[in-house]
Chain A
Amino acid sequence: MQTVRVNGQTHSVDVDPDTPLLWVLRDVLGLNGTKFGCGIAQCGVCTVHLDGHPVRACNLPVGMIGERSVTTIEGVDNADPIVHAVKKAWTNLDVVQCGYCQPGQVMAAIGLLKTVPNPTDEQIDSAMSGNMCRCGTYMRIRKAIHLAAGETA
């Protein structure tokens, strides 16, 4: 049995400790907002927050998480001004296309704005380059992050 704290709730899950957090979220806890893309931390569609910092869930063994708390796209606090501003910017600019990578993009963007409230293009590129988008929505992601930053500044 592994114990993991997700979105404020503690769960005991019957998996091996080497099981990546991604599959605990998706296949055991039924939290499907976090996506599977590559399994080797190359694409970022599985981005979640660990104690508030963006990490890739696909190569994070559940047994290594310990007391740290996991937040997924389902569990972000909509009352938080940054979360609210990011989601609003994303819908206002219609960033999404297929949308599969977008929960990961949103989690990465929230993480960025928590540490860099008003990022430059270069800071955005650097923070977001681990999150691939096959539809090529990068232009709008950049814009949306600036827009969200402006809202919360």
Chain B
Amino acid sequence: MTRMPLTTRRAALFGGGGLLLATLWPSASPRASTGMLVENATAPFAPNAYIRITPDNSITLILPNIEMGQGIYTSSVMLIAEELGVDLAQIEIEAAPPGSAEITGGSTSIMTEWKPLREAGAAARTVLVQAAASRWNVAPSSCTAASGVVSHTPSGRTFTFGELATEAAKLPLPKEPTLKAASDYSLIGKSQHRVDSAIKVNGTAVFGIDINVPGQKIGTVAASPVMGGTVRSLDRDAAMAVRGVVAVLVNEPRDAVCVVAEHYWAAHKGLQALRPVWSENDNAHVNTQTIYDQLHDGLKGPAIIPSPKGDADAVIAKSHSTYSAVYQQPMLAHATMEPINCTAHVRPDGCDVWVGTQVADRAQETAADVTGLPKEKITVHSQYIGGGFGRRLEHEYITQCVQFAKQTSYPLKIVWSREEDITRDRYRPAYVDEVTAGLDEKGHVTAMKHRIVGPAVVARWDPPELTKEGYDEDLSVATLITSYTYDVYRLEFARREAPGVITAWWRGVGGTRGLFVVENFIDELAVKAGIDPVAYRRELAKDNARAVAVLDRVAKDSDWSDPVPKGRARGVALQFAFGSYMATVAEIEMQTPETVIIHRVTAAVDCGQVVNPDQVVSQIEGGLIFGFSAALYNEITLENGRVQENNFNTWRVMRMNEAPRRIDVHLIASTEDPGGIGEVGTAAAAPALANAMASAQGHRYRTLPLLSSRNQEKEAAR
């Protein structure tokens, strides 16, 4: 029953020419139509996996996607509530358990849940109305459902949903419930306050790290600093001598140690006293340059060519001129504000896991694997996530926690230090790209080829998703899947897996990776042709009305045609990713090559039908800042196989004084099916900023991070 969002995205992008996202799912979700008929008179009305209404009128919505900041609890509730007829203030929410929880990632939640959640609400409302109508012996069409009450309009009689729950549970559910017309929406498209605002402001929201199970102890962990190392020795006595320490644990693969104590600080001091010594292996010879060298090497030689259009080499060879550029992007850590943590209680008869995870099913599976218990004996309690960004699409920390917790009789909470969190992250991979264009006499593209060199993240994360040819379709976002139309185009992928690290998804995945390269290159072509960068893009995107519309809108809102204020420069980026269009203009000032002031960012977004407009704006604002932070500052480096950045003093995060002075987001009204939004802003950040910096400094910024001295050195070497 679990669907794979990344699969979804790829299938959508390839199967539908990038536009038919909504056709991927059958009209009725299996989960929406397989409700159990409940015979027990006191049992709740639970027509599907998302709704539970008890006779005492408690209404609970069970949400398939986890909340990690993106506002999905609120918009999921809005989708169900719109059709069910309840107010946001009168419902309780729960995170769905494994089996009905979805993988939350790839900006796919709204795309995939848009229809099933509304259908779930509509199906439940239909039988609630039927139950009321038959009690009153009136036609269902004379009844309405709103605010958790069914009313018979002519007589003014009412029943609460709770009063109807028992009878509704006995009625068959409609297979294809009638959905409201867009013109009748009372919630969808109208900004609603987040359902999690108050608890996150007053400190009562429970994140994984806040779990406090009776009898729990707290452990902190050190894993081998070089991937693949195992523990050779440790000073157990010294650790146990620390006041408050209760246990020293080594996990089964012996690649991590855990000191357990009454509180974190004692565990932390115990771990310092433990001084584990690790075995070395070939990974201890890996340096950052090893990885970059390997990537640059991949610019020559064989490659996979996923979907060629025409003969790019032949057309480029015959073109008036050619232009080529190489781009380099670093490894990135996730550095979520909430450090990695997990709590597990392993007993002979079962296991509970409390964790913030984007993959509840995988959490359950790994706990079953480690404990040897059947899956149904593993209960996963999903918690609010203090920042996901793809980090919690991984579950190795859950595996590790259960490996330790199976050695203890008490519930064990493991909390990684920030140093552990950054140095044992799974990283967004480094990539090198080369793009070559054939150009006509006016500087317009006749043919383009684009080679990507880097890992195929999906090969590890979801192996069946790697194509037969060995291609990772995530790499198509912003390359093959684009706002632009090329007559002749060839994408090439030379796979090079990074030694010494594990690579993973990171906010914006293919969109963030690809857009930096493509929008930087298109900007170079525009500058070279002496054509305004917006006009150049507009010509290349002219077959795509939605792309042109966001571009025109951002040009207007950013005052693009007005002279740039003195000392400032502007850069633009256009994108189609995650089913959404966005155009972005960054206006910046660089008083020195090392300082960038982002004065103003303007964005126009067409993400189809908007569910919760203010939260779309919020995701764009935050996504941009997340992207600027990485684009300007961030790079994971390795020395002797050891990650060098380890806390926020060496892993710089954009702070309020560095954030844009102003971000203006315009949402284009649309009735197209919704696109994704959680990663859209992040993808736009680096190219818009790099293009503005190029304009300010008069040379291109082809290497990330943008403030890396490599951008200056390369220019000097020219």
Q: How many residues on chain B are close to A (CB under 8 Å)?
A: 69
Contacts of B649 in A (CB 8 A): 40, 42
Contacts of A128 in B (CB 8 A): 656
The answer to whether B647 and A136 have CB atoms under 8 Å apart is: no
The answer to whether A96 and B196 have CB atoms under 8 Å apart is: yes
Most chain A CB atoms below 10 A, which of B199, B243, B386, B418:
B386
A 87-132 contacts with B by CB, 8 A: 87, 90-92, 94-103, 106, 121, 124-126, 128-132
| Cα–Cα, bound, A1→B211 (Å) | 25
| Cα–Cα, bound, A23→B269 (Å) | 12
The answer to whether B336 and A134 have CB atoms under 8 Å apart is: yes
A 128-145 contacts with B by CB, 8 A: 128-142
A19 within 8 A of B: yes
| Cα–Cα, bound, A106→B197 (Å) | 12
The answer to whether A98 and B656 have CB atoms under 8 Å apart is: no
Q: Which of B264, B337, B415 contacts A98 (CB under 8 A)?
A: B337
B71 within 8 A of A: yes
The answer to whether A132 and B202 have CB atoms under 8 Å apart is: no
Chain B minimum-CB-distance residue to A31: B203
Q: Which of B119-127, B304-312, B657-665 contacts A (4 or more CB under 8 A)?
A: B657-665
Interface mask (A10-43 → B, CB under 8 Å = 1, otherwise 0): 0000011001100110111010111111111011
Interface mask (B182-214 → A, CB under 8 Å = 1, otherwise 0): 000000000001101111111111110110100
The answer to whether B387 and A100 have CB atoms under 8 Å apart is: yes
The answer to whether A97 and B622 have CB atoms under 8 Å apart is: yes
| Cα–Cα, bound, A124→B218 (Å) | 37
Given known contacts A91-B197, A99-B196, A132-B655, A35 and B263 CB-to-CB distance under 8 angstroms: no
Minimal beta-carbon separation of A70 from chain B (angstroms): 14
Given known contacts A135-B626, A139-B621, A36 and B201 CB-to-CB distance under 8 angstroms: no
Q: How many residues on chain A are close to B (CB under 8 Å)?
A: 59
Minimal beta-carbon separation of B48 from chain A (angstroms): 28
B623 within 8 A of A: yes
The answer to whether A38 and B656 have CB atoms under 8 Å apart is: no
The answer to whether A15 and B244 have CB atoms under 8 Å apart is: yes
The answer to whether A90 and B197 have CB atoms under 8 Å apart is: yes
The answer to whether A139 and B70 have CB atoms under 8 Å apart is: no
Q: Which of A28, A33, A94, A126 contacts B194 (CB under 8 A)?
A: A94
| Cα–Cα, bound, A19→B242 (Å) | 12
The answer to whether B202 and A135 have CB atoms under 8 Å apart is: no
The answer to whether A136 and B629 have CB atoms under 8 Å apart is: yes
B686 within 8 A of A: no
The answer to whether B338 and A125 have CB atoms under 8 Å apart is: no
The answer to whether A138 and B69 have CB atoms under 8 Å apart is: no
Q: Which of B199, B337, B418 contacts A134 (CB under 8 A)?
A: B337
Minimal beta-carbon separation of B58 from chain A (angstroms): 24
Contacts of A91 in B (CB 8 A): 193, 197-198, 201
B653 within 8 A of A: yes
Contacts of B388 in A (CB 8 A): 98
A149 within 8 A of B: no
| Cα–Cα, bound, A37→B262 (Å) | 20
The answer to whether A23 and B203 have CB atoms under 8 Å apart is: no
| Cα–Cα, bound, A129→B659 (Å) | 10
The answer to whether B648 and A98 have CB atoms under 8 Å apart is: no
| Cα–Cα, bound, A125→B654 (Å) | 12
| Cα–Cα, bound, A92→B191 (Å) | 12
A6 within 8 A of B: no
Contacts of B660 in A (CB 8 A): 139
B384 within 8 A of A: yes
Given known contacts A16-B243, A42-B649, A142-B656, A136 and B625 CB-to-CB distance under 8 angstroms: yes
Interface mask (B412-444 → A, CB under 8 Å = 1, otherwise 0): 000101100000000000000000000000000
A73 within 8 A of B: yes
Contacts of A131 in B (CB 8 A): 656
Chain A minimum-CB-distance residue to B74: A94
A 37-70 contacts with B by CB, 8 A: 37-40, 42-43, 45
Contacts of B266 in A (CB 8 A): 15-16, 19
| Cα–Cα, bound, A72→B204 (Å) | 12
Contacts of B338 in A (CB 8 A): 35, 37, 98, 100
| Cα–Cα, bound, A73→B158 (Å) | 42
Chain A minimum-CB-distance residue to B67: A98
| Cα–Cα, bound, A36→B421 (Å) | 12
The answer to whether A98 and B69 have CB atoms under 8 Å apart is: yes
Minimal beta-carbon separation of B633 from chain A (angstroms): 12
The answer to whether B70 and A97 have CB atoms under 8 Å apart is: yes
B358 within 8 A of A: no
A74 within 8 A of B: yes
| Cα–Cα, bound, A24→B266 (Å) | 11
| Cα–Cα, bound, A17→B336 (Å) | 30
Given known contacts A33-B204, A39-B418, A23 and B264 CB-to-CB distance under 8 angstroms: yes
| Cα–Cα, bound, A100→B389 (Å) | 14
Contacts of B201 in A (CB 8 A): 87, 90-91, 95-96, 99, 102-103, 106
Contacts of A26 in B (CB 8 A): 210, 263-264
Given known contacts A73-B203, A96-B200, A136 and B339 CB-to-CB distance under 8 angstroms: no
Chain A minimum-CB-distance residue to B626: A136
Minimal beta-carbon separation of A42 from chain B (angstroms): 4
The answer to whether A36 and B209 have CB atoms under 8 Å apart is: yes
| Cα–Cα, bound, A95→B663 (Å) | 15
Minimal beta-carbon separation of A126 from chain B (angstroms): 7
Given known contacts A39-B417, A91-B193, A97 and B243 CB-to-CB distance under 8 angstroms: no
B615 within 8 A of A: yes
Contacts of A129 in B (CB 8 A): 655-658
Given known contacts A40-B647, A100-B386, A141-B656, A34 and B622 CB-to-CB distance under 8 angstroms: no
Given known contacts A23-B265, A45-B337, A38 and B203 CB-to-CB distance under 8 angstroms: no
Minimal beta-carbon separation of A119 from chain B (angstroms): 12
| Cα–Cα, bound, A28→B244 (Å) | 12
| Cα–Cα, bound, A31→B261 (Å) | 18
Contacts of A73 in B (CB 8 A): 202-203
Contacts of B629 in A (CB 8 A): 136
Chain A minimum-CB-distance residue to B653: A132
Interface mask (A73-88 → B, CB under 8 Å = 1, otherwise 0): 1100000000000010
List 26 A-B residue pairs with CB atoms under 8 Å apart, sorted by A's residue number: A15-B263, A19-B263, A32-B212, A33-B203, A35-B386, A42-B649, A45-B337, A91-B197, A96-B197, A97-B69, A97-B71, A97-B618, A97-B619, A100-B338, A100-B387, A101-B337, A103-B200, A134-B387, A134-B389, A134-B626, A135-B69, A136-B622, A136-B629, A136-B659, A138-B654, A141-B656
Known A36-B415, A37-B648; 20 more pairs at CB < 8 Å: A16-B244, A27-B218, A27-B264, A37-B338, A37-B418, A74-B202, A94-B615, A98-B68, A98-B337, A98-B388, A99-B200, A99-B386, A100-B336, A100-B387, A101-B337, A102-B200, A103-B202, A121-B661, A135-B69, A139-B662
**Closest CB pairs A-B (n = 8):** A33-B203, A136-B625, A99-B200, A100-B386, A98-B69, A97-B69, A27-B263, A73-B203
Q: Which residues of B contact A (CB under 8 A)?
A: 68-71, 193-194, 196-207, 209-210, 212, 218, 243-244, 262-266, 268, 335-339, 384-389, 415, 417-418, 614-615, 618-619, 621-626, 629, 647-649, 653-663
